[in-house]
Chains A and B, each alone.
Chain A
Amino acid sequence: MSHATQCPSTVGSKRPDAPAEPLLDGATGRRYWRSLDELAGTDEFHAFLHREFPSFASELTDPTRRSFLRVMGASLALAGAATIPGCRRPQHTILPYSKQPEEVIPGKPLFYATAMPLPGGGAEGLLVEIHEGRPTKIEGNPLHPINQGKSSVWAQASVLNLYDPDRLQHPMTMTDDGRADATWDEFDAFAAEHFARFDAARGAGLVFLVEKATSPSRDRLRDRILSRWPQARWLPYEPIDDENARAGARLAFGQPMGVEFDLSHARVILTLDRDFLGGEGATLPEARGFAAGRRVSATHGPGSEMSRIYAVESTMSLAGGAADHRLRLRPSQMPAYLAAVAAAVFERLSRGANGAVAQALAGRNDRGALGGIDPEWIDAVADDLVAHRG
């Protein structure tokens, strides 16, 4: 074919819209290829080539100076012809509402109070700043007892969640071609026929797999579901969970409980792999307590000394960065460390541990497992803890 219509890079090879054949089939002599795709001559490669270098887009095939100047001159003239009318003042459009909603003052934000569930339970109260229906900033609600005006990192990041294109806005069905939009009416029809058999079996075989949350609304929904289908199962599950902490709380307090520490009154804090600033647990109240404990007031008395924080952890965390002393231990070494510190504390208190604690400590006080850590980490910490007990 003539050079004027074929992209130079494909000269010598197959036409882009010819059926795909491997490049070297039946070739004699040297054939240069630049990629394995080109060598294989796949359909995708030819499609890519055609898109990338459409055969009509290349005008500079004629290597003479005259044709080069002709093409350059033509594009310059075209650009000039486009610029003259383009030099005019740009036209801006004002698009007011068709039906203006109440309370919206264009140009001024509206604030809405809302709440967001925290991972692991609980919720925080938020104020969302909205400009003409678009949320722009999320802050804590000053009136909320947990937040008191502050917000967690999840709350700050959740403003992007609001613009997530994958956020479900209506029901969807799974068809052969993938997900398809559906309506609530279609779901009602589907539910009526699909869940009828569960009504007969009182829910046997139906499982609801949900994320963990402490939402009262969701609990009410769960109660309604389980009252209709008593044999159905409602399974809250989180892939990253603090099940161990809950088991520990069950050991300590008799019930599985979420734990929130009030750090404002603690003078010495020893954290074992718990990042109280960076997101484990109830970050907002704990961070507030931490800050209160570190705030030194001018007068003497309880507020006149900073709290001291020992952090023993396996990864770098905010609590470790803020701590006064930090020890790096593997998670497998933590029980041994805790046992050693506990034993040292009880030794200083001149009394033995009571039943359950002694049992837990018994097998674990293995200083050898701790490797070469500074014995000060056990003795000094124990001294400090005992000195500031209460």
Chain B
Amino acid sequence: MSEGHGSGGHGARADLAHHFDSYEQQKDTATLGMWTFLVTEILFFGGLFAAYGVYRASFPAAFRAGSHELDIALGGFNTVVLIASSLTMALAVRGGQTGKGKLAAALLGLTMVLGTVFLVVKGFEYHHKFVEHHVPGPTFHFEGPEANHVQMFFVLYFALTSLHALHMVIGILLVGYVAKRAWSGAYTPRNYNFLEGTGLYWHFVDLVWIFLFPLLYLIGRH
């Protein structure tokens, strides 16, 4: 997957794999392949969301009590950070699409910084949960009649948010690799497909959080 700068001249189609007829077909294939993967990811997270639905319907009061232990300010801050990182990611892809590799690399760097800020805030939240004994397991402690069911809320909280955080870590590494490639001019308006695919992955991680934030932090706050 090496490609030259500009168009025309020798090797103008070097970034077109031999089994594709056109750049358009190559791009559509890459996009469709990435989306097929993301659909499996939707169903992967979907299993945990389904478990969340079952337990929340069964123990609404416990889920309200558990949710009130989470910090809306930190969760809301992280939501803003993640959506901002999606904006910088989208603009980075646009940079690759319009042949501005250095701009794309800078925006990808900013995306990595925002992603890291999210994880650091998440780390502080997890630390707080450890201190409060709200981590499920033998040390779990919660005052009230429904302590066990509140523990179930925290099982789902940690399962969902840690799986999401794992996707963030993978995403940051991937964005770092793509930033390096973008800086060295690897992406052209004809073929920026790897950059586009990385963008799709990053936005997917944002999508999961868009649902996690209200479902975990905002239950029965009135």
Tell whether A and B belong to one assembly.
Answer: no
Chain B contact residues, CB within 8 Å of chain A = none
